[in-house]
Amino acid sequence: MSKTVMIVDDSTTLRQVVRLALEGAGYSVLEGADGKDALSKLTGQKVHLIVSDVNMPNMDGITFVKAVKQLPAYKFTPVIMLTTEAGESKKLEGQAAGAKAWVVKPFQPAQLLMAVSKLIMP
């Protein structure tokens, strides 16, 4: 069984490209359009890793990660934050919320894939 990665970002393009890259590497992919949408999709099924943007409408990434960490089923799910090089404070905020891994935006699919495979093998 392949491992499932959830990608949360408000950009359809980004989700689509990330999906392509991850599926190509043998992961299954779930998508969330923003924090709220992603949270509503975390309903019991196994998610091995969450990749989340910070700046999103409806519910930003930090709030989302904090909420995820409150859910018993996903408490230990690793989270990769997509931060910007300018957002150092956001990175720390994200780490405090429980997202210990990060990838700096803009990134190439291979960079994200590398980060993902550090945390979970396909």
Partner 1 sequence: MSLDDAMQTFIIECRELLESMEAALLSAEEAPASEEAINAIFRAAHTIKGSAGLFGLDHIVSFVHVAESVLDKVRNNEIPLDPPLVALMLQVCDHIGLLVSYLEQLKEPDNDLLEGSAILQAGLSIYLSDTPPPSASTLPVEHDAPYESEGGTPVETDNWHLSLRFNQDVLRNGMDPLSFIRYLGTLGKVVSIITLTDTLPPLDAMDPETCYLGFEISFSSNADKAEIESVFDFVREGSLIHILPPRSKISEYIELIQSMPADDMRLGELLIKCGTLTRQELEDGLASQREVESPDQAKPIGEVLIEQNVVQPVVVAAALDKQKAVKDVKTAEASLIRVDANKLDQLINLVGELIIASSGASLIAQKEALPHLLESTSTISRLVETIRDSALSLRMVPIGGTFSKFKRVVRDVSAELGKDIQLEISGEETELDKTVVEKIGDPLTHLVRNSMDHGIEPAEVRLARGKPVVGTLKLDAYHDSGNIIIEVSDDGGGLNKDKIFAKAVERGLIKPDQILSENEIYNLIFEPGFSTADAVSNLSGRGVGMDVVRRNIEALRGTVEIRSVLGEGATMRIRLPLTLAIIDGFLVEVGDSSYVVPLDMVIECIELPVTQAGHNAENDADFINLRGEVLPYLRLRKHFEITGEPPRRENVVVVQFGDRKMGIVVDQLMGELQTVIKPLGKVLNKIRGIGGFTILGNGRVALIVDVPSMMQEAEHAANAQISDAN
- By the criterion CB under 8 A, which residues form the site for partner 1? 9-14, 16-20, 33-34, 36-37, 53, 55-59, 63, 66-67, 69-70, 75-79, 82, 84-86, 95-98, 100-102, 104-109, 115, 117-121
How many CB atoms neighbour CB 85 within 10 A?
9
Least distance to partner 1 from the beta carbon of 101, Å? 4
Q: Which two tokens stand for residue 57?
A: 């409408």
Nearest 10 degrees: Cα torsion 6, 106, 54, 41: -20
- From the CB of 112, what's the least distance to partner 1, in Å? 9
Q: Which lies closer to partner 1 via its Cβ, residue 10 or residue 30?
A: 10
Q: Give me the least distance between CB of 79 and partner 1, in Å please.
A: 7
- Which DSSP string corresponds to 58-93? SS-HHHHHHHHHHSGGGTT--EEEEEETT-HHHHHH
**Closer by beta carbon to partner 1, 30 or else 67:** 67
Judge contact between 39 and 66, C-beta under 8 A.
no
The residue (of 44 and 103) whose beta carbon lies closer to partner 1 is 103
